[in-house]
Amino acid sequence: MFRSFSLALVSATVGLVGCSGDDKTDATPTVVVTYSALESLLEGIVGEAARVEVIVPNGTDPHNFSPSAKVVEALSSAALIVANGLDFEEGLEDAIKQAGKSGVPVFRLADHVELRDGDPHVWLDPATIAEAVPSLTQQLTSALGEDLQGRGSAVGESLTNLDEKIMTTINALESCVLITGHDSLGYFGARYGCEVLGSVVPNFSTAAEATAKNLSELKALAESEGVKAIFTELGTPADVAERLADELGVDVVEIATHLVPDGGGYDEMMLALVDAIVSGLS
């Protein structure tokens, strides 16, 4: 009945960033999710009960995404909207609120997990995501009128297995000390024992900018701790990161915190992230 949600990502994603030819009828309810990292998780829970449409195209920075008229229409006609919350989808927030006022139920992941000082990057820790799965499953069951508890439990178990796999991999490192593009790996670091010294852009949002003062302090800290790499990601100013890395004599390693690999899902995204971190620190 349940396929591991890491494999449940359909290569021809339906909806706004999908393609035509879906064999589900127009009467099939639609669950709209704001970003691609959660798509396979939702596919795993809803199965054939609904279509899953992703608003922000895979690999696009959600902080800077603005909705089109088509996006607004999709939100207003959804059976349920699943968003991250905490202003992660800042450009979409007004449209999501408007859909909510018109009667569309909205599930914000950040409302159902233990938060770290307002940090919106909850999806970068499978254990944190797992905290929200029971409430998400209940909301989906209510919105779609089908009992999805069994599928939700299976997704939760899959997240637990993924968490254990990541823990084993990171624990094999001699140490895990990170400098990132922006403040994105707080949940990851706290879960897996990685110390995040700081970020090129010291903010939860990539819309912020690096400052000379922050970079000077970051360089001094990196030198004192003997960091092995600068980990950049979507939204990091490449020239700034490369200059800092050159001054420190270390490599720049790109990590994908917002990009789901082709043909993969949440599991593959997280394992690719871990592989990049381990490679950069080895």
How would residue 56 be classed by pLDDT, with cut points 50, 70 and 90?
Answer: very high
The per-residue pLDDT for 15 is 41
The per-residue pLDDT for 3 is 37
How would residue 64 be classed by pLDDT, with cut points 50, 70 and 90?
Answer: confident
The per-residue pLDDT for 212 is 86
- The pLDDT tens digits for 104-137 are 999 999 999 999 988 999 999 999 999 999 999 9
Query: What would the 3-class secondary structure string for 172-210 be?
Result: CCCCCEEEEEECCCHHHHHHHCCEEEEEEECCCCCCCCC
Q: Which range has the top average pLDDT, 86-90, 240-244, 277-281? A: 277-281
Mean pLDDT of the chain: 89
- The pLDDT tens digits for 17-29 are 443 344 545 689 9
Share of the chain above pLDDT 90, in %: 74
The per-residue pLDDT for 8 is 39
Helix (H, G, I), strand (E, B) or coil at 83: strand
Backbone angles phi, psi at 187, to 5 degrees: -65, -45
The per-residue pLDDT for 27 is 86
Q: Which residues contact 69 (CB under 8 A, 6 or more apart)?
A: none
CA distances from 191 to 11, 135, 161, 170, 228 (A): 31, 21, 14, 10, 21
Out of 127-131, 202-206, 210-214, pick the least confident: 202-206
CA distances from 275 to 190, 262, 270 (A): 18, 16, 9
The per-residue pLDDT for 210 is 75
How would residue 175 be classed by pLDDT, with cut points 50, 70 and 90?
Answer: very high
- The pLDDT tens digits for 177-190 are 999 988 899 999 99
Q: Which is it for the CA torsion 54, 57, 59, 61, positive or negative?
A: negative
Q: CA–CA separation, 37 vs 234, rounded Å?
A: 14
How would residue 148 be classed by pLDDT, with cut points 50, 70 and 90?
Answer: very high
Q: What is the CA radius of gyration of the chain?
A: 19
